[in-house]
Structure 1
Amino acid sequence: MRPSRYANRYPKGYTGHGSRPPRRVRVSTPCVFVILGGLALCLGAALLITAGGCAPRPAARPLVPGESALGRYIDLTHAFDEQTVYWPTEEGFKLIKGFEGHTEAGYYYAAHRFEAAEHGGTHIDAPIHFYEGGAPLDQVPLERLIGPGVVVEVSDRCLRDRDYQIQLGDLKDWEAKQGRSLNDAIVLLRTGFARYWPERRRYLGTAELGAGAIAKLHFPGLHPEAARWLATERTVKAVGIDTASIDYGQSRGFETHIALLRAGIPAFENLAGLEQLPDSGFTVVALPMKIRGGSGGPLRAVAIVPD
């Protein structure tokens, strides 16, 4: 029998699978160098990664309350508790204790529930609050709630006159002084009344409750003419104020609410901390509870002021 033509190509005793042994692959010398070079690069990269992982990491910057890489955080929100100011016809905030303590399993646990009207404390008025067919709270665009902020300072006038209505001239004076328009801004109106929180008599003008107290409300607000101008002549994102209402206390027709909310401009009421803000150059983030179908709701508003 003739010897197999593969006999001299494989070691003695080789037994392959199938009718013929596996195909031999010939590798040229240049290919060997390429393969070896690639292996060297991979090994070098692995060593670098290992070395990097062993190198000491830079110490993390300690968390400083009120600061971030973006700037300083300014809280514009009053805490909710039994002293939170609500409209005289509304019930106050209630935190109803559920359980607080150590369980039988040995771990600590706390869980409560709360009751609150939509419009009280630091909160938002959604367009539907005074405009039939307006957006409810869950449909207010985020673009209305986050953006560049400006402060229109009118506390000197408001502290002299509790019934002062912020005039169109006050807004135009701000623009003239700053050399820019109020377009695309979240406009915050500082009356100075946040200093009275939560003393109802000083903040609202009366400490009485019930429908009879409405006629005794005395606090500043935005004049309807100024509100209509913001709604039609400017493109503001939202308007906020540090009083109980964007309309002044003696308003009976709530024309300022209607002018703003009809234009889709939400209102932030009972704001805090506006005295800590510059005239402009900061960012407002005002995020409410996302209540489906709500006419308003509790708001956590903050400002970020660059260092």
Structure 2
Amino acid sequence: MNREELIQTLVNAKWYDLTQALSIFTPPWPGEMPLQIHFFKRLTGAWGGGQGANGQLIEWSNNTGTHLVGPRAFHSGMRAISDIPLTDLSGPGVIVDISDAVSDYSLYTPEMIMERADVREGDILIINTGYHKYGWDQPDVYNEQAQGGIENKEFGYYLRHPG
């Protein structure tokens, strides 16, 4: 594909933004450090001829928020993120909604996906389990059996999520 064909493909593509908001409330992977922001300098615009300045230290574990996990995270002999060409991270995709077929702790199968969508070799597959409702940035989930009547979202998102 030449440059012009690539540009035309990108212009005509349907794009999906999968990013999640990042804040001090974004839960890290269980057991890892949450996002921390330390402000150490704040100079308002009235100082120095109208020039203000802010200084911050931002630290968080690498498994917080939207991120890509490469094969090397699981085996030291595998490819690093920098070794993965962008062409491997883009292409035809299929979104499959299996939210009506899964529940807490359940397992989903290739058959469940294939009966709902035409997935072909090389497709990028996005599976909607419905468990995004437990995301930290989503409205509260009410549950009469939960302490205080509001679901602990981390249990829903991390522990009970089907897989």
**TM-score, reference length from structure 2:** 0.70
Is 1:122 aligned with 2:66? yes
- Partner residue, 2:124: 186
Q: Is the 8 A contact 2:33 2:61 kept in 1?
A: yes
Amino acid in the other structure paired with 1:190:
N
- Partner residue, 1:144: 88
Report deviation, 1:73.
Answer: 5.4
| Pick aligned residue for 2:51 from 107, 110, 113 | 107
Stretches of structure 1 that go unaligned for 5 or more consecutive residues are 1-68, 207-215, 222-307
- Partner residue, 1:92: 34
Higher relative contact order (CA 8 A, sep 6+): 1
* Residues 95 and 70 of structure 1, relative CA distance in 2, 3 Å threshold: farther
* Residues 195 and 111 of structure 1, relative CA distance in 2, 3 Å threshold: same
Percent of pairs identical after alignment? 25
SS of structure 2 residue aligned to 1:138 = helix
* Structure 1: distance between partners of 2:40 and 2:80: 30
Structure number with bigger Rg: 1
Report deviation, 1:171.
Answer: 2.6
Matches within 5 A, 1:227-242: none
* Structure 2: distance between partners of 1:111 and 1:144: 37
- Partner residue, 2:155: 204
Amino acid in the other structure paired with 2:121:
N
Which structure has greater helix proportion? 1
Q: CA deviation digits over 1:7-50, x for unaligned, max 9? A: xxxxxxxxxxxxxxxxxxxxxxxxxxxxxxxxxxxxxxxxxxxx
CA RMSD of aligned residues (A): 2.8
* Structure 1: distance between partners of 2:68 and 2:34: 17
* Structure 1: distance between partners of 2:84 and 2:38: 29
Which structure has greater strand proportion? 1
* Structure 2: distance between partners of 1:127 and 1:141: 13
Q: How many residues align?
A: 139
**TM-score, reference length from structure 1:** 0.40
* Structure 2: distance between partners of 1:169 and 1:108: 58
SS of structure 2 residue aligned to 1:88 = coil
Report deviation, 1:147.
Answer: 2.0
Matches within 5 A, 1:257-272: none
Q: Is the 8 A contact 2:105 2:159 kept in 1?
A: no
* Structure 2: distance between partners of 1:144 and 1:113: 33
* Structure 2: distance between partners of 1:135 and 1:90: 24
* Structure 2: distance between partners of 1:196 and 1:167: 22
Q: Is the 8 A contact 1:203 1:219 kept in 2?
A: no
Q: Is the 8 A contact 1:126 1:136 kept in 2?
A: yes
SS of structure 2 residue aligned to 1:174 = coil
Q: Is the 8 A contact 2:96 2:113 kept in 1?
A: yes
* Structure 2: distance between partners of 1:194 and 1:149: 19
